[in-house]
Structure 1
Amino acid sequence: MKQIQNYFKKAILLIAVITSGSFSMAQSNKDSEDFMPASTNQQGRQYPQVNSENRVRASISAPQAFKVQLDLGGKKYDLVKDEKGIWTGESLPQDEGFHYYQLNIDGASVPDPGSLYFYGAGRWGSGIEISANDRDFYALKDVPHGMVSEQIYFSKLTNSWRRCFVYTPADYNQNSKTRYPVLYLQHGSAEDETGWKAQGKANLILDNLIADKKAVPMIIVIDNGYANKPQPATADNSARPQSIFEEVMINEIIPMIDTKFRTIANREHRAIAGLSMGANQTMRIIMNNLDKFSAIGGFSGTPNYPSSDVIDPATFLDGKYKDGAAINKQLKVLWLSWGSKEPNPFPGSIGAFRAMLDKQGIKYSSYESPGTAHEWQTWRRSLHGFATLLFKD
């Protein structure tokens, strides 16, 4: 009798395990099918979509095509065509944050007509937002919002028309006598001055920080980091561009901003930061112009990039980092940040730069963005942390 009871107990337990497994599998399948249109879609477009596993599903009508792929995160995923000529397929789970992507149709890479277009990777193309657990800090909230204006100006140094975008905090137009500190914020390689607002959400980050009294109200200036010296025309177009962005920043952009906006026009109330290429540029600019700035932020970049060799402070940037004590007196904030999944050579170059700072006794703050690589979620988090340190006694 006891053996029969044990048998039934085992049988019931086995049924429970099977039932539980079936339920879990059904639940998993249900979760994997909870695709919703991405927040970065064009109005009314149902694709691309993202699910709770952070998979991306793309779909496009291309009846005459022979092969269609989703090109996302360095991997191409084959899409499958149905009887109506609509191709559909999905990716593996993606990291949280914003990602550039494209569709590949019979070998031609094209933007997805369902996505809004963003300037990155040297082109206007598709981008998709993968909802992040910490998205609240750049969410659109019911708080006072600043304004982003477009400033067009003629650069005599480059002999060309240029533009920058200027964020002014929510109370700028209400407090007509108040003057504000300024952060000059730069984009990365193959991007432009549209990136920090469209992809980086810089205005929303500052709106939320200021509303929460975690950041000082400030003006942010976002210019184009590509500024070249005019070159004479050659028959074979062999002349190499010569960047003069530093000269444009110091001699044209800053004076223009101080003239057009109510700034506090001194070094104590002026900061500069950038991501990747922009970090390299701005960290060189500040060391040549410590009379103009008192704070620097390097997001996923350093002035020694891409080198990971040991830095000799006696010779690096003409010995600008040689006197650590003097730098500590001049810089109120020196901030370095990177993503925990940054690809080479970024970890090496950042590590070598930090080692040099440590050797010289130069004070700095650092932040590692968890689970992100060389991408906008890293830089959003970097701006959020950096901005809280600026212009405070």
Structure 2
Amino acid sequence: MLALLLATAVGVGSASAQTPAPASPASAAAPAVKEDFKPSSLNQPGQEYPQVNSQGYVRFRVVAPDAKSVRASLGLGGRGGTTLTKGADGVWVGTSEGPLDEGFHYYHLNVDGGTFNDPGALNFYGGVRWESGIEIPAHDADFYALKNVPHGNVQQILFPSPSTNTSRRAFVYTPPGYDKNQSTRYPVLYLQHGWGEDETAWSNQGHANLIMDNLIAAGKTRPFIIVMTYGMTNDARPGAINSFDIKPFQTVLINELIPYVDANFRTLADQPHRAMAGLSMGGFETKAIAPKNLDKFSHIGLLSGGTFSMEDVNSTPGFKDKVKLVFVSYGSKELSGGNARAPANGAPRPDPKANAEALKAAGLNSVFYVSPDTAHEFLSWRRSLYQMAPLMFRD
């Protein structure tokens, strides 16, 4: 089942810019690019470029006087991009052909055939490498903004992993007040990243901690712990993703990480207070692991990472009785031709909305969310976490 699901994915785990459409007569009258460019919020300290304007266009500037060609490739697969032009001063400048989707995007520079990060931008792990990142301000960014509210803590832990013969890393978000209220115990969400990313993604690109801080401050969610660890996904390369084996990560998660977290944090260490969710390939991992371990998980979230059908439910003993929440989400642009496309084996194209409604009609707590005007990218998943968190652990 996992192999089939993985085969249907497009751009798994990679936030990507949208490739501008070719020019047409109808687009000839498009508004002119506004010259109100400002440095990206993800620039390195003191760096003026790249810049973003109020329409979502990006302007790049690279000092490379001896280069023959410079291009900014947007998205982990370089599916969109901007060709820069060299000036008399040896500085290359270029503006994107069209606006990018709101939210976070990976990119890198191609200089004379080589791949380099932009020295002006901060780096984020994606595509099995550290990529440059740029943020297009979102109209609804308030829910993940840094505010003057009580903040939780994100800490690194190193836990023993006999199955991999090493110590492995995870990041743990504890909510505001965790260190003060020593008698309080908390539910736990195990939250997985996408393909080619790692355990830093949900905090760095996803702002999961700020989303939770703001929700808790507004009284919209129950405080809970979030655990983010490496999903052992990078052994699967594009073109060979059907060979991905979930068993090693399942062993790490079930037999090593969960016991360590329960022993070292004040958790409510039982099935009703434990959840698993993930974005893209992290969602596929969630679907592969959680239903087979319903003695461990009661809340399940697939964010651009598959769907649950009634066939899945009926073939999983105890699903109807033990699962308290099934949350499935996508970006709206994915549903018009992305992750939900027809499987390669000729089976009908899955309809996640219809599946969610069927589960709800059968009496399950099934929620389907669509992020407006986004694709397979982090704004879809930030919004999804914002929608999902308040639904969890309602005792």
User: What does 1:255-274 correspond to in 2, within 5 Å?
Assistant: 255-274=259-278
Are residues 251 and 72 of structure 1, via their aligned partners in 2, closer, same or farther at CA, if it must alter by over 3 Å? same
Amino acid at match of 1:346: N
Give the conservation status (yes or no) of the 8 Å contact 2:38–2:51: yes
> Would you say the 8 A contact 2:304–2:330 is kept in 1?
yes
| Residues 209, 215 of structure 1: 8 Å contact kept | yes
Partner of 1:336: 328
Q: Cα distance 1:139–1:65, how it changes in 2: closer, same or farther (>3 A)? A: same
1: CA distance between counterparts of 2:333 and 2:353?
18
Residues 40 and 228 of structure 1, relative CA distance in 2, 3 Å threshold? closer
* Corresponding residue for residue 251 of structure 1: 255
Give the counterpart of 1:171 among 174, 177, 181: 177
Cα pair 2:152 2:174 within 8 Å, conserved: yes
Distance of 2:329 and 2:244 partners within structure 1: 30
1:281 aligns with 2:285: yes
Report what 1:322 is aligned to: 315
Query: Which residue identity is paired with 1:136?
Result: D
Residue range with higher mean Cα deviation, 137-146 or 282-291 = 282-291
Length-normalised TM-score, structure 1: 0.82
Alignment of 1:82 onto 2:92? no
Deviations 1:82-137, CA, capped at 9 Å, x for gaps = 12111011102110000001111111121100000000111101010000000000
TM-score by length of structure 2 reads: 0.82
Q: Is the 8 A contact 2:310 2:358 kept in 1?
A: no
Tell whether the 8 Å contact from 1:280 to 1:298 is kept in structure 2 after alignment. Answer: yes
The reply on whether 1:116 has 2:122 as its aligned counterpart is yes
User: Alpha-carbon deviation of 1:332?
Assistant: 1.1
Picking from 120, 140, 165, the partner of 1:134 is: 140
| Paired residue secondary structure (1:288) | helix
Q: Which amino acid aligns with 1:87?
A: W
Deviation at 1:348, TM superposition (A): 3.2
Native 8 Å contact 1:180 1:218 kept in 2: yes
* CA shift for structure 1 position 323: 6.4
Q: Distance in 2 between matches of 1:208 and 1:98?
A: 19
Name 1:9's counterpart in structure 2. none
Give the greater-gyration-radius structure (CA): 1
User: Within 2, Cα distance between the matches of 1:36 and 1:146?
Assistant: 30
Which residue of the other structure, out of 381, 384, 387, is the alignment partner of 2:386? 384
Unaligned runs of 5+ in 1: 1-27, 230-239, 305-310
* Aligned mate of 1:47, from 46, 49, 54: 49
Q: Are 1:347 and 2:340 an aligned pair? A: yes
Unaligned residue ranges in structure 2 (runs of 5+) = 1-30, 236-242, 343-348
Deviation at 1:356?
A: 5.2
Give the 3 Å change call, closer, same or farther, for CA 169–355 of structure 1 in structure 2. same
After alignment, is 272-281 or 359-368 more displaced? Answer: 359-368
Contact 2:307/2:328 (CA < 8 Å) preserved in 1?
no
The one of the two structures with greater contact order (alpha-carbon pairs below 8 A, sep at least 6) is: 2
Paired residues of 1:215 and 1:389 also in contact (CA < 8 A) = yes
Kindly state the Cα deviation for residue 322 of structure 1 after the two structures are TM-superposed: 3.0
Q: Which deviates more, 254-263 or 338-347?
A: 338-347
Q: How much is the aligned-residue C-alpha RMSD, in angstroms?
A: 2.2
Alpha-carbon distance in 2 for matches of 1:334, 1:359: 12
Does the 8 Å CA contact 2:279/2:304 hold for their aligned counterparts? yes
In the TM superposition, residue 241 of structure 1 has moved relative to its aligned partner by 7.3
C-alpha separation between the residues in 2 aligned to 1:251 and 1:353? 31
Q: Hey, what's the Cα distance between the residues in 1 that align with 2:355 and 2:142?
A: 36
Q: Where does 1:1-393 land on structure 2 (aligned, <5 Å)?
A: 32-73=34-75, 74-91=79-96, 92-226=98-232, 242-243=245-246, 244-302=248-306, 313=311, 321-322=314-315, 326-342=318-334, 344-348=337-341, 351-352=350-351, 355=354, 361=362, 363=364, 364-393=366-395
| Greater CA drift, 381-390 or 75-84 | 75-84
Q: For the structure 1 residues 102 and 88, does the alpha-carbon distance in structure 2 shift closer, same or farther, using more than 3 Å as the test?
A: same
Q: What is the rounded CA distance, in whole Å, between the counterparts of 2:352 and 2:138 in structure 1?
A: 30
User: How many residues in Structure 1 have an aligned counterpart in Structure 2?
Assistant: 343
Distance in 1, matches of 2:234 and 2:159, equals 15
Q: CA deviation at 1:158?
A: 1.3
Identity of aligned residues (%): 49
Q: Which has the higher helix share?
A: 1
Partner SS, residue 88 of structure 1: strand
Tell me the SS of whatever aligns to 2:168: strand
CA distance in 2, matches of 1:312, 1:202: 30
1-side partners of 2:355 and 2:382: how far apart? 26
What CA distance in whole angstroms lies between the structure 1 residues aligned with 2:60 and 2:338? 32
SS in 2 for 1:114: coil
CA 1:36–1:228: 2 relative to 1, 3 Å: closer
